[in-house]
Structure 1
């Protein structure tokens, strides 16, 4: 059985508050895990069934007649850090033999942070504090299904720990909040953004929007991605006015520029191919 997940709004800064719990935000993908009559079904947040792609989550003991909300993550075998690219690698693997091999060589974990249904009872109207108590009793020993840890009140301290560990961020959740299948200010995410300076070396032609980004390494420009989010209408207009005399060439999709416009961007992390993941424009460097 699928239940649409409760989504988080964004807060710019970590905060302390006695009415909130704070959890690490694991860099994976959201999933609903349902166990009915001994059969486990795993859904994405958009209700796509991905059960057979994560066979390691089907083995072991977990309470029957339960629906859990959580995040599927994958740990780098060498660094033991959560790695988004690796979990996406697993997500895209569908062939049964390849899934079987990767479930051993690159296993995933389900980090449960909420329980929505248990033993015939819909728990969504209960406050989060009571659902957490139920969750404590639901999860038995399992190699790949774990409860997400949390602290009460001390969001700033946890966020500093997350920054030191180079993790994705934290979630702040009102401890008396019911579960609502929509985006709610009762649940918030604070992202551990990275920041860097880039050159804007071109742009995509309409109708698409995107600015080509590059960084200078050893006196050479290296492409690092496309900026698709962040600038206001005024900032876009300013960019195109400044770009007009800088055009060097173009093709059917892209206009290329001399590297004269610089900007600050924030991004989630560097990918394995040294590209910016989810870059967002912040401001021009004058």
Structure 2
């Protein structure tokens, strides 16, 4: 039985806040997964039945009639989530590393829909229902300040936090303000080195040891006015092309925020912020 997962909003200005009516918990960097242990076990991502892909999750420590919401992650030697390894394993089963399921909500309990109960009550039911193992763990709210917690998360290079209203219902498939995410973005100054012929994206380069090395494409956050500003540069300073891209001289720099670096050297999910004049 598939239930579309409840989705998050970004907190205002991506800033943490303290509110006694909310919980704060760690945002794990992996793949969202619904564990449905009704008449039979099914593991659902947002758009795929992934039951066959993760045999290590096939004996969940929960009774029949239980549906959980959570995140599958691959943990590195330091206990941090390795996003790249998790997604590589999802794309290909060859040399896939085992995943751990981080459960943060319960949607069905003893065959009964509990999504209309408060989050606080559902958290209690989750504790009563799930017996933690090497492959199944519970994401627990922290005690204390969300602002202080976010600072600690940033110091340790983790993805971010989620702030949730204690009385929130579980709204299937809805992007709700009852759950707000605060992301630990990093920032950098980069060069714009080209653009895609087929998509509305720019190529980026990073100054490294006196040379500009390619670090991938920028798709997010580019405004219409920014595109109009770059078009004369793209037209007048072409520096070659390939099947998919046109390259330009690296004359323009911009500020971007991004999640992390891939092992390939590409920047993960860069977002345009502003030009550097």
Specify if TM > 0.5. Answer: yes
Q: 1:54 and 1:118, CA in 2 relative to 1: closer, same or farther beyond 3 A? A: same
CA–CA separation in structure 2 for the residues paired with 1:141 and 1:173: 23
Q: Which moved more, 1:58-67 or 1:128-137?
A: 58-67
Q: Secondary structure at the match of 2:268?
A: coil
User: Which residue pairs with 2:179 in the alignment?
Assistant: 187
Cα offsets for 1:214-233 (capped at 9, x unmatched): 01111111100101111211
Trace 1:1-286 onto structure 2 (pairs within 5 A): 1-11=1-11, 12-37=14-39, 39-46=40-47, 48-59=48-59, 61-76=61-76, 78-94=77-93, 98=94, 102=96, 106-151=97-142, 154-181=145-172, 182-205=174-197, 207-286=198-277
Deviating above 4 A after TM superposition, structure 1's stretches of 4 or more consecutive aligned residues are: none
Q: Does the 8 A contact of 1:5 with 1:69 survive in 2?
A: yes
Could you report, residue by residue, the CA deviation over 1:230-269 in whole angstroms, capped at 9, with x for unpaired residues?
Answer: 1211111011123332222234432211111001111110
SS state of the match for residue 56, structure 1? helix
Distance change >3 Å, CA 212–CA 228, structure 1 → 2:
same
Distance 1:60 1:35, change over 3 A: closer
TM-score scaled by structure 2?
A: 0.94
In 1: Cα distance, 2:133 partner to 2:228 partner? 55
Distance 1:185 1:236 in 2: 31
Structure 2 gaps of 5+ residues are none
Instruction: Give me the whole-angstrom Cα distance separating, in 1, the residues matched to 2:205 and 2:78.
Output: 28
Q: Alpha-carbon deviation of 1:63?
A: 2.4
- RMSD over aligned Cα atoms: 1.5
State the alpha-carbon separation in 2 of the partners of residues 208 and 192 from structure 1.
Answer: 27
Deviation at 1:284, TM superposition (A): 0.6
Q: What is the count of residue pairs matched by the alignment?
A: 274
Contact 1:60–1:143 under 8 Å retained in 2 = no
